[in-house]
Amino acid sequence: MIRAQANLRYWTPSVALEIFAAWVLAIFWVAPLLYAFWAAFHASEFAINFTLFAPLTLDNFREALSQAPFLRYGFNTFVLVTMLLLSQLVICTLAAYAFARYEFAGGNVAFSLVLVQLMIAPEILIVENYGTLANLDLIDTITGIGLPYMASAFGIFLLRQAFKSTPKELEEAARLEGCGAFGVLWRVYIPLARPTYLAYSLVSISHHWNNFLWPLVVSNSVETRPLTVGLGIFGAPESGVDWSIISAATLLSVAPLLIAFLLFQRQFIQSFMHSGIK
């Protein structure tokens, strides 16, 4: 009943104004991306000439692909993100399990030391980490780009929370059934933490798909360069590339993630909400 009254207030002028404001803001927010689409699918003479029925073309994409190996860059990014996510899931699961269920000596101190990485991301220590990577002979390798991020404090933190909220009784039941420590982890903790795994994975994928500074420093060949770095080199103003072609290249680089986001937007948005921090 009260709900109905609240809804009656809905169409007051101030509410109508709010809806109007919401849409104006939204148009401003999608305009840059829409513009990139416009430029990419039209010949360059239409880049700033918005004729509604200007002929569509794929030439800009063809040109971008012929000027730089974006497919190879895309493959590199895919390898990087996949390898990184798999290692993160394994490493973080083990560490989180230790923190959540083994009250080992020094555990609290160790946990606060893990959290340090939330503040000091590997790219902040770019100078020293580059030196370390050079000593390991991993410069210009995809492994080298991923290695500093494989132990993720954020992943350990999220999974520890999830494991801690798992009822102890379930573990005891599994123990009675004859499960060992890893059996319990595999059959009880991991299945129950599935939403956390999903959230973490989506955040990790989008973060590393978009990461730039560290991959820029580490990679210097076509075989290792991820999309962001390839695009960064391609789009450099001094390279004198046509505007429409840069737009096409930009769209090529963001397309896989953008499409995944549009298809699974609810999961993406929920994941970012759930995760709290990047």
Partner 1 sequence: MRHVYGWLLLTPAAILLIAFTHFPTLATVYESLFSKGSTIRPSRFTGFSNYESMMEDPVFWKVLTNNFWFAVGTIPLSVGLAIAMALLVNRTLPGRSLLRLAYFTPTILPMIAVANIWLFFYSPDIGLIDQILGSFGIAGHNWLGDPDTVLPAIILMTVWKEAGFFMIFYLAALQHFPEELEEAATLEGASRWYYFRRVVFPLLMPTTLFVLINAVLNSFKLVDHLFVLTKGGPNNASNLLLYYIYENAFSYFDTNYAATLTVVLLVILAVLALAQFFFLDRRIHYR
Q: Binders of partner 1 among 118-157, rule CB under 8 A?
A: 119-132, 147-148, 150-151, 153, 156
Q: List all residues 6 or more positions away from 122 whose beta carbon is below 8 Å from its beta carbon.
A: 129, 148, 149, 214
- Evaluate the CA torsion angle 214, 219, 224, 230 in order and state its sign: positive
Interatomic CA distance for residues 93 and 190, integer angstroms: 8
- Determine, following the binding rule CB under 8 A, whether residue 113 of this chain makes contact with partner 1: yes
- Determine, following the binding rule CB under 8 A, whether residue 44 of this chain makes contact with partner 1: no
Single residue of 52, 56, 109, 116 touching partner 1 by CB under 8 A: 116
- Determine, following the binding rule CB under 8 A, whether residue 189 of this chain makes contact with partner 1: no
- Determine, following the binding rule CB under 8 A, whether residue 193 of this chain makes contact with partner 1: no
Site for partner 1 in 55-84 (CB under 8 A): none
**DSSP symbols for 127-157:** HHHHHHHHHTT-TTSHHHHHGGGSS-HHHHH
- Determine, following the binding rule CB under 8 A, whether residue 85 of this chain makes contact with partner 1: no
Single residue of 98, 138, 179, 192 touching partner 1 by CB under 8 A: 98
- Determine, following the binding rule CB under 8 A, whether residue 4 of this chain makes contact with partner 1: no
Q: List all residues 6 or more positions away from 193 whose beta carbon is below 8 Å from its beta carbon.
A: 159, 162, 163, 166
Q: What angle do CA 233, 120, 115 make, to 5 degrees?
A: 135
- Determine, following the binding rule CB under 8 A, whether residue 105 of this chain makes contact with partner 1: yes
Interatomic CA distance for residues 251 and 36, integer angstroms: 7
- Determine, following the binding rule CB under 8 A, whether residue 95 of this chain makes contact with partner 1: yes
- Determine, following the binding rule CB under 8 A, whether residue 26 of this chain makes contact with partner 1: yes
| Residue 2: C-alpha distances to residues 5, 7, 9, 157 (Å) | 5, 9, 11, 42
* Cβ contact 81:210 at 8 Å: no
- Determine, following the binding rule CB under 8 A, whether residue 99 of this chain makes contact with partner 1: yes
Q: How many beta carbons lie within 10 A of that of residue 25, not counting itself?
A: 9
Site for partner 1 in 243-262 (CB under 8 A): 243, 246-247, 249-250, 253-254, 257-258, 261-262
Phi/psi for 222 (5° steps) reads -60, -30
- Determine, following the binding rule CB under 8 A, whether residue 5 of this chain makes contact with partner 1: yes
- Determine, following the binding rule CB under 8 A, whether residue 54 of this chain makes contact with partner 1: no
Compute the least distance from the CB of residue 261 to partner 1, in Å: 5
Compute the least distance from the CB of residue 79 to partner 1, in Å: 17
Nearer to partner 1, 60 or 211 (CB): 211
Site for partner 1 in 199-238 (CB under 8 A): 206, 209-213, 216-217, 227-228, 231-232, 235-237
- Determine, following the binding rule CB under 8 A, whether residue 166 of this chain makes contact with partner 1: no
